[in-house]
């Protein structure tokens, strides 16, 4: 959530910044609600002041009336009327504040100044590449055909039978390779990169999703449980991990966490895209990095977190490129995002495998997550960051395609062989 004070005092510049994301801020609506809020707050404060003043003098007025033999009922009625007026004024303020909060919840984060203009992924800016795509001496197959040819391998037909489209079954050594990738990623982040490993719930409540920005705007992208308590399956570990410090003042920063979870997404609006294989599924797994930092640490933390994701691909010897997302392609809650895209031989292109974002204090305001500023001693909103380190299913896809052999087998990357019992290939 954006700082309401910033909107009150800099609304035109905020509107201009949001236009880079393709979002048109309704300045008139905000100004009208803000004006109504001010008036309602003044009325509420005035009504409460009148009630308090009368309450202080009530005893003296009652004593005077009794001494004079006068009726005290009118004095009591006056007190009740002032109490009722104060309550009504307070309720009017609450109602307008709720309207204002609802509007604020729909406004995206403003992009960082370094974010380039643009409307979609075609306008993203490539920053660097690593590794040269492999030149095959045979016609490279896509991961669906590679996986199907392996013993056990990938079974999409049974995934459809069990659950429906956009589900898969992994068997045998392919299932073990998937597990090996998870263990490798967690070991790298915890042992070498200083992250603390977490195990979190895969079901979250509505407040958690509001805090990270998935709700209310993106409810159609979620799987909601048929339960009166408004439970949802997590779309990413970002949600439960970032909510660790909801409504808390964090004693020590930075805090760095890594977490492996399944992820569940309805993929609303993506029908017809990547329908073949494991690129876009309803259920997939990720290893997620999340950092909580002080504002002055955030820029460096984004570079560090992105580098941690890149290093995994380098250890796996998978070619990739890193791009800076343009305004129109930057997500709702993010201020700045780097996408890391891995090379897929079957598509002869790079596809996203990690998205690393800095959110400023946007999520922290929604969460009520703060730290104590050493300079002032007062609570202030911390900054949040997260990134995939990595998307496990897409990494499996990249390994199957980049390491396929002419005889249909798949070589196992050197760093994964210890996790595969020393095996060097899947036959």
Predicted pLDDT of residue 75: 79
- The predicted-structure confidence for 268-306, as pLDDT tens digits, reads as follows 767 677 878 999 999 999 999 999 999 999 999 999 999
User: Is 400 inside any structural domain?
Assistant: yes
Residues 88 and 130 reside in one and the same domain: no
pLDDT at site 63 = 80
CB-count exposure of residue 239 (10 Å: 0-12, 13-18, 19+): buried
Percent of the chain at pLDDT exceeding 90: 89
The CATH number assigned to the domain holding 71 equals: 1.10.287
Annotated ligand binding at 267? The verdict is yes
**Domain interval for residue 163:** 121-426
For 266, residues 6+ apart whose C-beta sits below 8 A from its C-beta are 220, 221, 222, 223, 282
374-415 confidence digits (pLDDT tens): 999 999 999 999 999 999 999 999 999 999 999 999 999 999
> Residue 229's pLDDT band (boundaries 50, 70, 90)?
confident
In whole angstroms, give the CA distance from residue 254 to residue 75: 59
In this predicted structure, the answer to whether residue 317 has a pLDDT above a threshold of 90 is yes
* Tokens linked to 228: 């009166």
Indicate whether 167 and 310 sit together in one domain. yes
Q: What is this structure's pTM?
A: 0.93
Q: What is the DSSP pairing of strand 231-233 with strand 203-205?
A: antiparallel
Which pLDDT band, with edges at 50, 70 and 90, does 21 fall under? Answer: very high
The residue ranking higher by pLDDT, 354 or 276, is 354
Q: Which of 47, 80, 106 is the last residue of a domain?
A: 106
Q: How many domains does the chain have?
A: 2
Active site residue 265: yes
Check whether residue 54 and residue 125 sit in a common domain: no
**Is 353 labelled as part of a ligand binding site?**
yes
* pLDDT classification of 215: cutoffs 50, 70, 90: very high
pLDDT at 89: 95
Choosing from 355, 365, 366, 401, the catalytic residue is: 355
SS3 234: coil
Confidence of residue 79 (pLDDT cuts 50, 70, 90): confident
Residue 266 among known ligand-binding residues: yes
- The whole-angstrom distance between residue 305's C-alpha and the CA centroid of its chain comes to 15
Is residue 394 flagged as an active site residue?
yes
Mean pLDDT across the stretch 239-251? 98
Distances (CA, A) of 382 to 29, 55, 245, 249, 342: 29, 42, 10, 9, 32
Token pair of 114 as six digits:
């370094």
The one catalytic residue in 365, 366, 370, 394 is 394
User: Is 175 annotated as contributing to ligand binding?
Assistant: no
Is the same domain home to 30 and 139?
no
Residue 274 has what pLDDT?
81
CB under 8 Å to 384, separation ≥6 — which residues? 242, 290, 291, 292, 293, 359, 363, 364, 369
Q: Is 238 annotated as a binding residue?
A: yes
355 is a catalytic site residue: yes
Catalytic-role residue among 265, 365, 366, 370: 265
Give the ranges where 129-257 is alpha helix by DSSP (H): 143-149, 156-162, 172-187, 206-212, 238-242
């Amino acid at each position: 959530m954006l700082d309401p004070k910033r909107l009150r005092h800099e609304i035109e510049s905020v509107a201009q910044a949001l236009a880079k994301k393709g979002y048109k801020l309704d300045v008139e609506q905000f100004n009208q609600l803000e004006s109504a809020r001010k008036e309602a707050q003044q009325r509420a404060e005035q009504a409460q002041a009148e009630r308090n003043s009368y309450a202080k003098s009530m005893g003296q007025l009652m004593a005077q009336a009794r001494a004079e033999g006068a009726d005290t009922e009118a004095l009591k009625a006056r007190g009740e009327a002032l109490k009722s007026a104060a309550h009504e004024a307070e309720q009017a303020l609450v109602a307008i504040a709720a309207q204002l909060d609802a509007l604020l919840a729909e406004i995206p984060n403003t992009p960082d100044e370094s974010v380039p203009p643009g409307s979609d992924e075609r306008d993203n800016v490539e920053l660097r590449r690593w590794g040269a795509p492999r030149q095959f001496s045979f016609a490279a197959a896509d991961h669906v055909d590679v996986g199907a040819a392996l013993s056990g391998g990938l079974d999409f037909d049974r995934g459809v039978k069990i659950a429906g489209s956009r589900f898969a079954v992994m068997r045998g050594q392919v299932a073990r390779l998937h597990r090996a990738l998870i263990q490798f990623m967690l070991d790298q982040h915890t042992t070498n990169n200083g992250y603390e490993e977490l195990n979190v719930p895969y079901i979250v409540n509505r407040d958690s999703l509001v805090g990270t920005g998935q709700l209310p705007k993106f409810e159609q992208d979620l799987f909601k449980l048929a339960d009166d308590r408004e439970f949802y399956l997590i779309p990413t570990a970002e949600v439960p991990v970032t909510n660790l410090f909801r409504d808390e003042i964090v004693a020590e920063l930075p805090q760095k966490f890594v977490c492996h979870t399944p992820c569940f997404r309805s993929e609303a609006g993506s029908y017809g895209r990547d329908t073949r294989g494991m690129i876009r599924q309803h259920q997939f797994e990720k290893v997620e990095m999340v950092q909580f930092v002080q504002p002055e640490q955030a820029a460096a933390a984004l570079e560090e977190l992105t580098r941690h994701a890149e290093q995994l691909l380098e250890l796996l010897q998978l070619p990739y490129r890193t791009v800076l997302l343009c305004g129109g392609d930057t997500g709702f809650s993010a201020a700045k995002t780097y996408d890391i895209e891995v090379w897929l031989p079957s598509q002869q292109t790079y596809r996203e495998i990690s998205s690393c974002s800095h959110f400023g204090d946007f999520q922290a305001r929604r969460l009520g997550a703060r730290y104590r500023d050493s300079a002032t001693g007062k609570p202030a909103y911390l900054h949040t960051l997260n990134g995939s380190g990595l998307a496990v299913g897409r990494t499996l896809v990249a390994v199957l395609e980049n390491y396929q052999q002419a005889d249909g087998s798949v070589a196992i990357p050197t760093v994964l062989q210890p996790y595969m019992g020393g095996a060097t290939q899947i036959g």
